Structure 1
């Protein structure tokens, strides 16, 4: 089994797609006003409207309710990301910080309040761990 996607349910697909395009410097494919996908080499971030939830299971997901998951993006240079984004994002949780597990992390919240971590491996162990994704 392969982990290929995570989906965020929102009341405003366009707003979240714009946000994730900004922080990743990527392009979301917007297949309908109720759905967008931002694909990276390792996983796809899907953004679905609350109007899509009944197709899965009515009432099974609610927008802007997450306080337990962190959406993480591996960045070549989190300090450069911070310099690029610091004046256009207003939902910073912290500035780039070296974590005990060896990543330099930058935390912020997306427009729905989901926690987002941009990180760059900084120690030899962390660099080795993520080498597959940086080659």
Structure 2
């Protein structure tokens, strides 16, 4: 089991490891942790270690074809100002898969990496000290 002081890791299957590393480090604030490109690299943001597995990596080869479809799950990145992040990413040419939606817990939008894996940017709702949601 992962110890509390270790990274929590998620594996994404990608078409091109170098392109994926560039996307995550340039647009989403990850840093390169390890690279064995073109097969594999991992990038880190806070406690999240994102494993980027290319077609020749053992992680990609071990995945059954019917389970390898991108888009069914997503990583969830918390941001302080969703509108500013969306503007910044749109100006960088990043494509989005949804419009911004709001719910009781906050606001979110979905975007994709170059391989089509989903990423959710999430801005939590403002909360008072009692935990109740407040409006701005």
Normalising by the smaller structure, the TM-score range is 0.7 to 0.9
Match of 2:40 among 17, 35, 40: 35
Q: Following the alignment from structure 1 to structure 2, what is the Cα–Cα distance between the partners of residues 50 and 61?
A: 13
> Unaligned stretches of 5+ in structure 2?
132-136
1:68 CA displacement: 1.2
| 1:77 alignment partner, one of 42, 63, 81 | 81
Residues paired across the two proteins, number: 123
- Aligned mate of 2:95, from 91, 96, 106: 91
What's the offset of the Cα at 1:108?
1.0
After TM superposition, the score normalised by the length of structure 1 is 0.74
**TM-score normalised by the chain length of structure 2:** 0.74
**Partners of 1:44 and 1:102 in 2: CA distance:** 25
* CA displacement 1:18-39 (0-9 Å, x = unmatched): 1111332232234221222221
Highest CA radius of gyration, 1 or 2? 2
Instruction: Determine the structure 2 residue equivalent to 1:60.
Output: 63
